[in-house]
């Protein structure tokens, strides 16, 4: 199905993806950002802050921002890099990606380095993003091409703001026993001891060498998000909790209670690209019943793997 472009009152061109069962997604050219993903029952699956600032050059708090070429304050650039507050373009030359299989609605976007960007990050690049929607599934395929005649390195993350019923009723499975960098403890390295991650306070961790599949179980909604990823070995888990949420001007005081970020990322070991080389990542978000847990993360049993 072709996508539609609408121009809302906020002035952002908005791409609408739909598929036959009734699910939908909305993507902005600003930031190349998915800002809505609804299932066939029209339930919103992504969190969007009630105080989100819809005005450039501010980043929009919610949906799926693209963090490039750095994540957080791990480098010298603005937090999470500049890709999330630039205007992207439709990409009509999306080779060498094959046509999306079993995807009902697809859009290809591109962001190229500008002279302004080169002043702060002197690397010439093309960042492409394919966003495709099918029944119960939202897939993002980012690609970065080095158009320089010298090598460069970068960090990358897809920041997934997931909508949950009550953060205290959520658990994340698939990250147990792994090492993580704790951003609340000066990025010191620890090992996860819990059987699953549960939430009773602020959390900001970069889990390292993570599996390709992670389950985010929402007991109250009886729904599990399944995050499947390739090319992004790290996973960030973030919730600001009440004190930090109140300090964020673009977040409602109680918003922390209905959101959780679980990100696909490459942070600890930046990706290195030689001249004219390309990197490709792959992220797939899907939802299944809450009986699904990490012990069932066998794609032959529940979900089909990547094509």
pLDDT digits (tens, 9 = 90+) for 246-270: 999 999 989 999 999 999 999 999 9
Give residue 107's pLDDT: 95
pLDDT of residue 54: 92
Q: Which residues of 260-288 are buried (b: 16+ CB within 10 A; e: fewer)?
A: bbbbbbbbbebbebeeeeebebbbbbbbb
Question: Which residues define the annotated binding site for substrate?
Answer: 61, 79, 84
Task: Tell whether the model's pLDDT for residue 150 goes beyond 80.
Answer: yes
Which range (95-109, 122-136, 256-270) has the least confidence?
A: 95-109
Max CA distance (Å), the chain? 53
Mean pLDDT of 103-113: 90
Q: Does the pLDDT of residue 299 top 90, yes or no?
A: no
Model confidence at 168: pLDDT above 80: yes
Q: What is the pTM of this model?
A: 0.92
Whole-number Cα distances in Å, 110 to 10, 43, 94, 155, 191: 22, 29, 9, 18, 38
Q: What confidence score (pLDDT) does residue 87 get?
A: 94
C-alpha distances (whole Å) from 74 to each of 29, 70, 87 are 26, 7, 24
SS3 content of the chain, % helix, strand, coil (to 5): 10, 45, 45
Check pLDDT > 90 for residue 101. no
**Which residues contribute to the annotated binding site?**
61, 79, 84
Burial code (b: 16+ CB inside 10 Å, e: under 16) for 40-55 equals eeeeebbbbbeebeee
Residue 104, classified by CB atoms within 10 Å of its CB into exposed (0-12), middle (13-18) or buried (19+), is middle
Q: What is the mean pLDDT of the chain?
A: 91
Banded model confidence at residue 7, pLDDT cuts 50, 70, 90: confident
């Amino acid at each position: 199905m072709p996508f539609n472009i609408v121009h809302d009152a906020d002035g952002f061109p908005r791409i609408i993806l739909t598929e036959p069962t009734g699910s939908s997604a909305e993507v902005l050219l600003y930031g190349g950002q998915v800002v809505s993903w609804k299932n066939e029952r029209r339930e919103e699956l992504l969190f969007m802050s009630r105080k989100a600032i819809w005005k450039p050059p501010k980043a929009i708090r919610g949906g799926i921002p693209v963090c490039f070429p750095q994540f957080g304050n791990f480098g010298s650039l603005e937090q999470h890099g500049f890709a999330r507050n630039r205007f992207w373009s439709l990409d009509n030359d999306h080779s060498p990606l094959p046509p999306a299989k079993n995807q009902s609605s697809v859009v290809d976007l591109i962001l190229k380095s500008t002279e302004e960007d080169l002043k702060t990050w002197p690397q010439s690049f093309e960042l492409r993003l394919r966003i495709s929607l099918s029944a119960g599934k939202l897939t993002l395929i980012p690609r970065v091409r080095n158009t320089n005649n010298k090598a460069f390195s970068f960090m990358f993350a897809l920041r997934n703001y997931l909508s949950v019923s009550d953060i205290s009723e959520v658990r994340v499975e698939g990250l147990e026993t792994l090492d993580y960098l704790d951003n609340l403890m000066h990025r010191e390295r620890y090992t996860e001891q819990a059987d699953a991650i549960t939430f009773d306070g602020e959390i900001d961790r970069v889990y390292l060498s993570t599996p390709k599949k992670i389950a985010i179980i929402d007991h109250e909604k009886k729904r599990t998000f399944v995050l499947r990823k390739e090319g992004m070995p790290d996973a960030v888990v973030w919730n600001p909790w009440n004190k930090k949420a109140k300090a964020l001007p673009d977040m409602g005081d109680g918003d922390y209670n209905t959101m959780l970020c679980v990100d696909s990322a490459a942070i600890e070991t930046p990706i290195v690209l030689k001249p004219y080389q390309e990197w490709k990542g792959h992220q797939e978000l899907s939802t299944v019943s809450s009986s699904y847990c990490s012990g069932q993360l066998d794609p032959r049993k529940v979900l089909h793997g990547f094509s």
